[in-house]
Structure 1
Amino acid sequence: MQKTRLYSLLVIVVICFAFTKVKIFSKKGDIDIVLVEKSYIAGQDIVLKFKSNNNAQPLLYCSNSYGSTVITPSLKNSTLNYSIPKLMCNKSGILYWKIINTSKDVSGSFKITPQSNTKTLESYLGPPSIEAGQTDYSMLVVIPTDSLDNPASNGKTVTTKKQFLTTITTDSIKTNNLIAFKNFYSEKESGRMLISSYCDHTYSKEFTVDVTAAIPTNFTIEVKRPHPYADGNQITTFYTSIIKDKNNNIVSDGTYVSFFIKDENNNSLHTSGTTINGIASAKMISPDHEQNWQIQAFIEGIAQSNSITLKYLQAVTDFDVTFSNQNRTITVGPITSFMDQKIPDGLQVTLTIYNNNNNIDQLVKNTFNGTVSFELNPAIYKSSNYNFTIKAAGKTYTFKNKKLW
């Protein structure tokens, strides 16, 4: 019974204590402001001073963008001195403070401004390559900071310089919301642009912007070849004119150009090249028989050339075919070209073999020293009558009812 009464009494005491307002300073005017400036300079020692009428020493809560902390004062001649931590003194911005556990609200804020001198100049520029034509631009962003790495206040003057070809231009921009920026537009000409900036005798590094030619415009093509004969050996070279943009700038080296060739049988060939000093070239081996080519070049999706026609003359007008060794050795040649010289090595010769009008085999060889020989193995080609078709350099010869022994 006594334990129950003791427990009930303890609960009543706890409840009464919980609903009782704890008041450390009950007198109005216990804490009065003595010295709190509206503004300080970053890096300056900041001490807030208050008058304590009863020598009490409440804590000071302060907060800024760096963080929050509670400061214990020092009391001297009834004056409370609160020294703001150096880390907070070095950070520009608004610092909020409040005396805690007082009978009245004693709070406020002050501004910490950056130092006036610029110590470093953070500079950024991009993109590093833009297109000529006065529409594309590169942006320079500058952040002047003091020795404590605080960005400069709004309105700080930053001077920019731009050099392009033979012209140097100077301009001034102001900081706003921590940064100063400027757009540098391209000129009509291509070239290299140099950009720099400075503030309070602090200088940025030199930036480079490459101003490249705009998209290519249409161009023309031409052809060079040793002779007009289709010998299947010589190289035909295609060249473009100097490819330029709409402002007459030569396109960048490495611009890819495709050359498409269509023959009279509607077959397509393709070769390609890249520009050097605005000119692209590509090569194609000549055909091995009379042919007409239609040629056109493209910079895919951007520009195209005129279409030209190239005619190749027949280089081989005739050749001999000899059957020997019971018709099992077929010799083609010597094959001669347009000057009665032996055709260059590598001309393709095709032998097609028929038996009872059925195509049973096709043999392909390349000429060496103007001739080529086909050996028909008795184990494969039994003794019988065969038809043969020989094709080379656009010429076709047919031999019927040749008996193999």
Structure 2
Amino acid sequence: MEQQGYYGAFGGSFIPEILVPAFAELNEHFEQIKQDSAFWQSYLSMLADFSGRPTPLTYAEGLTKHYGKARIYIKREDLNHSGAHKINNALGQGLLAKRMNKTRVIAETGAGQHGVATAIVAAKLGLNATIYMGREDMERQYANVFWMKRYGAEVVPVDYGSRTLKDAINEALRDWVSSFEHTHYLLGTASGAHPFPSIVAYFQSIIGKEAKEQIMQAANRLPDRVYACVGGGSNALGVFQAFMPHPEVELIGVEAGGKGMASGLHASRIAYGQGTTGIAQGYKTLFLQNKDGQMRDTYSIAAGLDYTGVSPILADLAEQGRVRFEAATDVEVIDALKLIMTKEGLVPALESTHAFAGAFREIEQTTNQEIVIINMSGRGDKDIFNIAEGLQDDEWTAFIARKNEQYANATS
């Protein structure tokens, strides 16, 4: 990392003057905790006692036999409390907020997993929570909206723009401008103004630290490839960091290919080569934007990947050639999901399934002497409506119609 939070040509802090004190306070306390082994130990203890870490590295025997190529291992972030990797960062930042004597946290969320994790952590630590979520994402992920509210968080719909993640981030920043004296913005992905990319990467690094130790125990060597889905970049950086010093380990980020590059309905900034350098939401990175610098609408079957920007850390790693980027389409994701469910008895989140789809597309290039790790960043309970729609399940559609009729009759 270079001075002022730059990663190569990307990063920085392009913020309104009114937020300078908030960022200065946050950076000061973040630098302190990085040197405070007692803070890290309290963080690890809470992850173990509350979230259930370490998560296992599961040998995917069924998928390995199916392909007859590389041995496939799955890092099981779906087994965290809340069902995704998001709680690693939410818990760390929650403890950081308490250290700064904040009484409230705000957050943005797309798929809802970061919102749920924030609501859980706020309830656990005695903080008030407000979660901003685009109306489009609320409709796609209403089960998570329901749980956020049950945990005591206020969920605020965002009804402008594309009504997805980028708009939720904008609204959270507006809130923080008038509330930072008592509020911490618990940003969920490794993007935004410095020091947020570093903070999120720091707390998510536990994924790769565990995976590296676990694969050494299981196979007595490092993997040949590590795959992770990429929206903003938190789970990818979480699993990649421990392997970055080892050039023999190839790191592959899989973006949302949506309906394909030609359709324009996707969220692939790097793999499709359509992201261009810009400054928005406080930082400089690769964005999907038009020639006037206006952010383009994005699309993905997975709400958590439906974002116009990407972590400046990953943008730099892509430019260096250290991380290779691919994109998986909705069709590939649904096909991969069917295979995972029937061969492994697992239901990954649609976000995570992009990583599987990317790995499956390339598995024929490997040999049975190689090892692949796929980061399963979350589980698919939240996606049941989207999955049923993607699978075109007529029985599910009939069930929803019956429930709708029962509800209408009960309230008439």
- With normalisation by structure 2, the TM-score equals 0.17
Tell which has more relative contact order, 1 or 2 (C-alpha 8 A, sep 6+): 2
When you count strand as a share of all residues, which structure comes out higher?
Answer: 1
